[in-house]
Amino acid sequence: MLEPFWLWLAAIPGVGVPLAVGWTIYIVVIGLWIIWEKREPEATLGWLLALAALPVVGFLIYHLFGPRRIKRQRLKRLRARAALVARAPDDEGDPYHQQIANLAQRTTGLPPVHMLDPVLLHNGEGTYDAMLEAIAGARHHIHMASYIFDPDHSGTMFRDALLARAREGVKVRLLLDSVGCARLRMRFFTDLLAAGGEVAWFHPMRFRPLRRPTLNQRSHRKILIVDGETGFTGGVNISDTQDRRRREDAHCDLHLRFTGSAVQALQLAFVEDWVYATGTALRDAALWPRPACGGAPALVIPSGPDSHWEAFHRVSVEAIHDATERVWLVTPYFVPSEAARMALTNAALCGVDVRVMLPKRSDSALVSAAARSYYNELLVAGVRIFEYQHNMLHAKAMLVDQHHVLIGSANFDYRSFRVNFELSVLVDDAGLASDMEAAWHDYTTRAVEILVDDPPAPRLRRMGDAMARLVSPLL
């Protein structure tokens, strides 16, 4: 493909040879730049082909959206962590599985913790009620981070709840992603700011000609911490699209409420993000109340492009490898890495009950097509695949064996593995696992199982799925 284009350039009278030489130099320079990133070969080749085919447009796309490590910002994050690690919770006992706990600690820098009273919350309506109740009871501070915070009924409801506590002297800090919250304007928070609340933006969209943009590296985390004692995290954003009381087509989702030392680890992740986004250290000792002892062993797993360890990716794959009975995965976006795909198929081939629940139609047709391209390999290996038929399935969770639940903001795709800032928790708790199992069975009542001997899809759709898979490392 490249040689005909080079010959076509060279054939242009007068300017052909200089253009061809310039294009060749461009390919060599841009190729070295991409190769220096040391990404997976398929992703590297994909970007090289895209940039070769679109010399100017391709460069701009790579400049804006291409994979990268946030080196300078990562140093700031590490300094923030170094200043706070002395207050990080100590390990209160042996983790349920030393190997995976060691992996999580060495890739995140956070020690194993314990979780008290974990409660699985369903959809926006159940999650919002629990979060607003916790906010109403706040005495000292409220820390909240969200990828989406829409200025609709739900967003107004939360803003007003935060405003009411700020007027009572509670310190309110709200961290929002500037892309996910693109509909918001600062005037929406005028009263909250006047009452002493603080609002910060993660990777604000501003033009800095001497710096490579951070447009593609988003904070996808959903966090709420009240008084350093109660924590929430999961997949639920703040939007009417998540609340069935507001919209019949609201997303199906999961969130988690808990107490215990896991809240301090969640607090550490939030404070680190706050220091990174604002440059302002938070030194109030009241942010770190002594947690109650006991509870279920847990791991808090923040991950993002500020680390090359890909903590969520590694912990997910390790959890699947460790499974002996079952792995039930629910995710809205399924674009597995080779390691994740091998882990799922290996587990199924070893006799583990592996199931994957996906939406029939997600809000990204390209990602849905890429996900379908993996079906056959998984089905042949013995993985059971279900497509959820009712509304948009937005839950992100994995049930492993009888006790272990992984839940958070991360999807099972390249973006969550390598590009976005995510946060998940892995909990060893039989009660939570039972609730997750019940949620799974409820999903199956609205799902259709895809079978290996189902009639093949139309050839045109299969071709589209294959083409989507070709660009899946770039999604």
Catalytic machinery residues: 220, 222, 227, 394, 396, 401
Phi-psi region of 260 (alpha: psi -120 to 50; beta: other; left: phi over 0): left
Task: Check: CB of residue 175 under 8 Å from CB of residue 219.
Answer: yes
62-89: b or e for each residue (b if 16 or more CB lie within 10 Å)?
beeebbbbbeebbebbeebbeebeeebb
**The pair of three-digit structure tokens given for residue 32, joined into one six-digit string:** 């070295």
What type of residue is 471? V
Provide φ and ψ at 257, rounded to 5°: -115, 140
User: What would the DSSP string read from start to end of 181-248?
Assistant: TTT--GGGGHHHHHTT-EEEEES-----TTS---TT--B---EEEETTTEEEEES--BSGGG-TTT-T
3 state DSSP class of 40: coil
Which residues are 168's β-sheet partners?
none
Q: Which residues of 170-208 are buried (b: 16+ CB within 10 A; e: fewer)?
A: bbbbbbbbbbbbeebeeebbeebbebebbbbbbbeeeee
CA-to-CA dists, residue 394 to 175, 358, 449, 469, angstroms? 22, 9, 18, 21
